[in-house]
Amino acid sequence: MLHATGARAGVGAGVGTVPRVPDDDARGVSGRDGHAGTDVAVHDGLFVLGDEPVLIGGRCRECGRVCFPRHEICPYCSLGPVDEIELSRRGTLWAWTAVTAAPPGYEGPVPYGFGVVDLEEGLRVITRITESDPSNLEKGQQMELVLDMLTEHDGHRVLTYAFAPSAR
């Protein structure tokens, strides 16, 4: 399911979509005034910027299941409205690979790490991984949410979420 070259994993599920730069400077500025030099999220509604970033997920009021990204309607039971929640910043590594060819529209560096992290909420997040050499990673190791710069766009640092091996 994860391919080593030019992966576009996760698009079908609407989860962990391939990073892209905003096509409109007004979006993703995260409430700041947007002048040159500010940090910009690659997409609104995925995570909260900051020194201790958090992913924004959702919890269904009917079935209680947790999703990421947050959907308006529960993707599991289709019944409940979905409340916005902050997901845990730590998890364990479940699967990983390296993407060696840039996917269409991607402007960041290659190779980059890509994989799946299990969160405490019982959710698997498809995510960028800061370690791009697969041999340096182990299944089950502790991972921590960080922000990773994809590219610069009109003087803004365009940030996306990623998981990094936790300091031990």
Binding site for Zn ion (CB under 5 A): 60, 62-63, 74, 76-77, 80
Shorter beta-carbon distance to Zn ion: residue 78 or 166 = 78
The answer to whether 73 touches 62, Cβ cutoff 8 Å, is no
The answer to whether 58 touches 76, Cβ cutoff 8 Å, is no
Closest separation in Å from C-beta 68 to Zn ion = 14
Closest separation in Å from C-beta 113 to Zn ion = 31
Shorter beta-carbon distance to Zn ion: residue 32 or 61 = 61
Closest Cα partner for 38 from 161, 159, 152, 156? 156
Shorter beta-carbon distance to Zn ion: residue 48 or 85 = 85
The answer to whether 72 touches 84, Cβ cutoff 8 Å, is no
Closest separation in Å from C-beta 79 to Zn ion = 6
Closest separation in Å from C-beta 78 to Zn ion = 7
Angstrom distances, CA of residue 99 to CA of 14, 55, 111, 120, 156: 19, 22, 5, 26, 24
**Phi, psi of 32, deg, nearest 5:** -90, 175
Shorter beta-carbon distance to Zn ion: residue 13 or 77 = 77
